[in-house]
Amino acid sequence: MKPVPVNTPIFSHREKELLDQCIDTGWISSEGPFIKEFEEKFSGYIGRKFGVACANGSGALDIAVAALKLKEGDEVIIPAFTIISPAFSVIRAGAKPVLVDSDPITWNMDVNQVESKITSRTKAIIAVHIYGLPVDMDPLLDLCRKHNLFLIEDAAEMHGQTYKNKKCGSFGDISIFSFYPNKHITTGEGGMVVTDNEELAQRSRKLRNLSFEPDKPRYVHYEFGWNYRMTNMQAALGLAQLEYIEQHITRKREIGKLYNSELKNISGIQLPKEITDYAENIYWVYGIVLKESRIKNAAQIMKMLSEKKIGTRSFFYPMHLQPVFVKMGLFKDEKYPVAENLAENGFYIPSGLGITNDQIKEVSQTLMRILG
């Protein structure tokens, strides 16, 4: 049996054509013309006025947090179960991340637990859409209005996904995407900040570029910033991929549904929920959670799959247990049982755009044998 990697991206002829143009014209840096075109087309696709292309999604989060001027003493509510990037961005700004446990069905932040975490110091909520279903946005938007909070949307895994027929990434005061190779469209490394607020867009542009001031003498700086610029070559990839985004999304849903039907008869595991009242799963990755009745844990199952040359990844590791934060004395004695259970019993199986239906069946059959 040939190895089945956890992710393989797919390309058309367009990527080469546009990359050739970069080389032929010599436009390879962030000054090239594809950057602006990609920003306009992608932010337009999401339904936002402004896009600021960045070096990666984590950098886009740094920019989003800094653009909102979050600072020391501010509290920012984030999920306990997430990639670490939002927590890093909040802490780097000097602000304090405050954690909320997950919903056991959607694996997203449990919005019912958010209000009890709001204090007079709370300034923002970061909604991280996880794995395939969006966060339940309406209750969060109500809380933001009621308590005058900023909403940052981490839509890195949700290109094209909708919440009540409105695109993910269109809800935040400022929202971010990633174009890492396992996302629905990729630029190799890359990300984007999107917003409707012109001032936030301008601040984001400045922060991305070492806080050079567009209207002041060059090399004179008044604020901190980063070099988080995207290259013209990355934007070329992004523009080519954007032409196929609807096909990518359709295929992702096909992959998810095929796994659902192949795996539905295995007892003792929880599969991704296909549909909720507000969204249809987009299966950024196809996650599985072992139920408590299982003797083997996720790490053991992943090892057995790896022996069959099937790639997997563990689920995110909860923020309150991260050694880097424990060392800093953060989240001491806090408990988030749903997040802990997901981390211990969850993993995802090969579900990138390059997987074939035969591979999906092969992976499913192997998993079925292992799980009995």
Residues that bind ligand PLP (CB under 6 A): 56-58, 83, 85, 128, 154, 156-157, 178, 180, 191
Q: What are phi and psi of 150, to 5 degrees?
A: -80, 150
Minimum Å gap between C-beta 219 and ligand PLP is 28
Minimum Å gap between C-beta 243 and ligand PLP is 21
Minimum Å gap between C-beta 126 and ligand PLP is 10
Complex with ligand PLP: residue 32 or 169, whichever CB lies closer: 169
d(CA 24, CA 339): 50
d(CA 354, CA 184): 11
d(CA 168, CA 160): 7
For ligand PLP, the nearest residue by Cβ is: 57
Which token pair is 99? 């954690």
Complex with ligand PLP: residue 85 or 122, whichever CB lies closer: 85
Minimum Å gap between C-beta 180 and ligand PLP is 4
Minimum Å gap between C-beta 321 and ligand PLP is 18
Shortest CA distance to 175 belongs to which of 210, 243, 124? 124
Complex with ligand PLP: residue 10 or 304, whichever CB lies closer: 10
Complex with ligand PLP: residue 54 or 263, whichever CB lies closer: 54
13, 30, 143, 161, 249 from 355: Cα distances, Å? 19, 32, 40, 20, 14
Q: Are 315 and 348 in contact (CB under 8 A)?
A: yes
Minimum Å gap between C-beta 147 and ligand PLP is 24
Residue with the two structure tokens 């709370």: 122
Complex with ligand PLP: residue 102 or 366, whichever CB lies closer: 102
Amino acid at 151: L
Which token pair is 157? 């895994």
Complex with ligand PLP: residue 128 or 263, whichever CB lies closer: 128
CB neighbour list of residue 134: distance below 8 Å, 6 or more residues apart: 108, 158, 161, 162, 163, 168, 278, 279
